[in-house]
Chains A and B, each alone.
Chain A
């Protein structure tokens, strides 16, 4: 079974804090993705990575950065958290050329 694991289910952070969201996959997938999910908007792509140390901006990268130092781990960084970054964050992975993308259980982040 493919497993994508996000380090936290729930996080509460203060405005201005630096926040790290971690994601690990165990299937040796090349591609990893960070989405945010907001009611009525579906999932929007923040960043993705197709190889170690490689990253590409998605549709809403502003206020975020990412790090992929190892193939199995993809981190999302909020440099200075703001209240409009309160959301559900979902990590996903897929094999290069594969049809399926697999998701983690999500991290619900609240910025106060």
Chain B
């Protein structure tokens, strides 16, 4: 079946790197996503990676995909207090058809001075 798992909480010091991990079960997934949700807000698409890629970098964000282990990670360099939010990992299975996404429970990132 389709399932996405991620740890629920991560705490980092301002200026350090954050690494948020995610595992998924559907090997047919075409795209994998990271969304950010700030308090009281909707979801903001941070970045996504196509399943035939291993890595994608976008400014402070680095996404790593290990397709063999079905493991996705998001690294945030030089983490700032404004990065405090919930981060959702999502997969788009091939069987989804209409861009249906399967989400993890979300990782709450807390950045402290």
Residues of A at the B interface (CB closer than 8 Å) are 4, 6, 30-31, 33, 35, 40-45, 48, 50, 56, 58, 90, 92, 94, 96, 98-106
Determine the main DSSP class of A at the interface with B: strand
B4, B44, B48, B101: most-surrounded residue (chain A CB, <10 A): B101
Which residue in chain B gives the minimum CB-CB distance to A90? B42
With an 8 A cutoff between CB atoms, is B34 at the interface? no
Q: Are A103 and B42 neighbours in the complex by a CB distance under 8 Å?
A: yes
With an 8 A cutoff between CB atoms, is B17 at the interface? no
With an 8 A cutoff between CB atoms, is B70 at the interface? no
For the complex formed, measure the closest distance between the CB of B8 and the CB atoms of chain A, giving whole angstroms.
7
Alpha-carbon gap, A33 to B99, bound state (A): 10
B44, B45, B100: most-surrounded residue (chain A CB, <10 A): B100
- The residue that B42 contacts in the complex, of A30, A96, A106, with Cβ under 8 A, is A106
- The residue that B45 contacts in the complex, of A43, A90, A102, with Cβ under 8 A, is A102
Residues of B at the A interface (CB closer than 8 Å) are 4, 8, 31, 33, 35, 40-45, 48, 50, 88, 90, 97-101, 103-106
**A-B Cβ contacts below 8 A, count:** 59
Which residue in chain A gives the minimum CB-CB distance to B43? A103
Alpha-carbon gap, A31 to B31, bound state (A): 17
Q: Are B98 and A42 neighbours in the complex by a CB distance under 8 Å?
A: no
Chain A residues closer than 8 Å to B8, beta-carbon distance:
40
Q: Are B100 and A48 neighbours in the complex by a CB distance under 8 Å?
A: yes
Q: Are B103 and A106 neighbours in the complex by a CB distance under 8 Å?
A: no
